[in-house]
Every structure is written in C-alpha cells, then in structure tokens.
Amino acid sequence: MKTIIVVGGSKGIGNAIINKLVNSCKVVNISRTAPNLEHVNLNHFSCDVIQENLPEIETVDGLIYCPGSINLKPISRLSIDDFKNDFEINVLGAVKVIQKYLPILKTGNKPSILLFSTVAAKLGMPFHASISTSKSGVEGLVKSLGAELAPTIRINAIAPTVTDTQLASKLLRNDKMIENITERHPLKRFLNPEEVADMAVFLISDKAASMSGQVFEMDCGIVTFKI
C-alpha cells in the first residue's frame, strides 16, 4: 500500500483527494486544520507549511500540494505584498515541501508529485495578475523538475477552471454569478472537487507512469475552444 502526503487536505479539492485515496493508500495530511474524516489509513499533522517546520515522515511514495489562493484585484490595487503572499503560498510552499521530502521520495515505490496551477496561467483574464503570475511559476517548476528528477520521480500539475469550493465561494456567491460563470465555459458547466480529485488520483498513480512534466487543463473548454 502506497503512502501519499497531501498538503492542504482539510478542505476543497484536497479534501476530495483524501476521500478518494484513503481506502487504497496510507494518507498523511498536512494542514492547519484537520479534515472532517477519520480512517485507519489517515494520519494528520497540524502544521502551517509556510511558517512552521514540516513533520518528519519515514516513507513517502507520492506528494500532492493543494494550497492555493484566489486574490482577484485590479493591478492598481495589488500591492507588492499581495504578489509576495500569492507566490509564497503557491510556489515557495510547494518548493519547501518538495525539498523536505525529496530524499525519501527518491526511495519510494514509483514516486510522483502533483501540483496545482490554474487556467488563468494560459488564458489572459482581468484581475488575475497576481495569481496567474504565481501559478505560471508552478508550471515552470513542473517542467524543470520533470526533467531534473527523471526517471526516478514524476511530477505533473492540474490547471482547473473555477471549482465549487470554499476558496472560490466569492465567485459563486449568487445565482447570477453562477449563471455567468456557467455561460462563459463552452461546456456550460464548471468543476466540482470530486472530478478534480479523480484526475489527481490518476496522475499520482502508476496508471500515469508515462506522464511527467505535464500541465493538464481541466477547463470545461474555456481555454481550448472559442465558440
């Protein structure tokens, strides 16, 4: 049974991933708050990955870094600290976790890493300057480490569009906003956490053994199509 570290598994996509993995893998969750789930295969460490030292873990076969931010403001209202904070959460946090667990990942069973980007890294969208900048850094990290760590460790990313989570609640706070978001996507829908988790579970598994250095867009057509 593989051991998978999930950073940020208490809410949203991370929580959906834990629920998908916990019956078939040993899952180590690292987050500030514990997930609302108890299972013999789940072990939780309360930790702020940005501010605190990461826990010592003896065996790791997979690493999924889920923390993210949605800081949507006009460029005139974004401070340098906004850019720094988004970069720290999305990029430097991932780097910190990878550097910490890389030595034991290298000894794991067909080890792999999964990060998260956003469709805004490829699709120019107003008010996304800070988040698209940091998530573009995530994509660069995936490409670079994919080459550097091959053939021992695979690394990929998922770039989802709007997903129905607490993080995106301000974008989906009323029926009109939900309708507008839905209509903007050619497939006339947006994502739910469970379908993103399904993709995550696949990419971290041996079924994706041929895939590394890739960014998989779950975009409901918004990047891919012009209709």
Confidence at residue 200, expressed as pLDDT on a 0 to 100 scale: 98
Question: Does the pLDDT at position 165 exceed 90?
Answer: no
pLDDT band at 170 (very low <50, low <70, confident <90, very high): confident
pLDDT band at 110 (very low <50, low <70, confident <90, very high): very high
d(CA 115, CA 191): 17
Q: Indicate the Cα dihedral angle 129, 130, 132, 138, nearest 10°.
A: 160
* Structure tokens that stand for 219 in this block: 């975009």
Confidence at residue 14, expressed as pLDDT on a 0 to 100 scale: 96
Confidence at residue 58, expressed as pLDDT on a 0 to 100 scale: 94
Q: What is the mean pLDDT of residues 144-155?
A: 98
Portion of the chain with pLDDT greater than 70, in percent:
100
**For residue 171, which amino acid is it?**
L
Q: How far apart are the first and last CA of the chain?
A: 45
* Structure tokens that stand for 190 in this block: 């947006």
- Cα–chain center distance at 138: 10
Nearest 5°: phi and psi at 161? Answer: -85, -165
**For residue 46, which amino acid is it?**
S
Contact 214, 159 (CB under 8 A): no
Confidence at residue 42, expressed as pLDDT on a 0 to 100 scale: 98
pLDDT tens, residue by residue, 20-71: 999 999 999 999 999 999 999 999 999 999 999 999 999 999 999 999 888 8
pTM metric for this prediction:
0.95
Quickly list DSSP for 10-39.
Answer: SSHHHHHHHHHHTTTSEEEEEESS--S---
Closest CA to 112 of 219, 207, 217, 1: 207
Confidence at residue 93, expressed as pLDDT on a 0 to 100 scale: 97
Which CATH class name applies to 3-218? Answer: alpha beta
Closest CA to 69 of 94, 39, 33: 94
pLDDT tens, residue by residue, 79-96: 999 999 999 999 999 999
Confidence at residue 29, expressed as pLDDT on a 0 to 100 scale: 98
Confidence at residue 167, expressed as pLDDT on a 0 to 100 scale: 79
